Amino acid sequence: MAVDVISDTKKLDALLKSLGDESPVWVVHDRVDYGIHQEFGFVHKSGNHVSGKPFMRPAVEEIRPAFDKGWGVVIDKNLDPEDFVASMAFKVEGVAKREAPYITGDLEGSIAAKSADKFIENREYE
């Protein structure tokens, strides 16, 4: 299955800024140019499709049950949602690092969790 990936940082910037201060938002990302191709695959210059080796999506799916259960506790006990979301983001980061295809270690080493504010401030998606 081929996947078209469009990288429009203006849309991402607008989306993150539109969430406002009331929503705890964290971003788990890699800081290498080829991470997206590892995740989704790509078409080689020869025309052959190279399958992806997903690492971010499986990380999110592994953490999802704990997030869903924990979010209910945050709401029921009126806990700080920022702390909870941050802890879940760091868990996703850890699983993504474990699942990342190992070639040189650069991809694994580039995976990081950051608050949306820090992510935008550092403009790490350009």
* 3 within domain boundaries: no
* pLDDT tens, residue by residue, 5-22: 455 566 666 666 666 666
* pLDDT tens, residue by residue, 16-46: 666 666 678 898 999 898 999 999 999 989 9
* 2 within domain boundaries: no
The whole-number pLDDT of residue 109 equals: 92
* 1 within domain boundaries: no
Structural domain boundaries enclosing 118: 9-122
Q: How many domains does the chain have?
A: 1
Closest to 97 in 3D by CA, of 35, 37, 34: 35
Dihedral pair phi/psi, residue 72, rounded to 5° = -60, -40
Cα 63 to the chain's mean position, in Å?
Answer: 12
pTM (2 decimals)? 0.78
Band (91; pLDDT cuts 50, 70, 90): very high
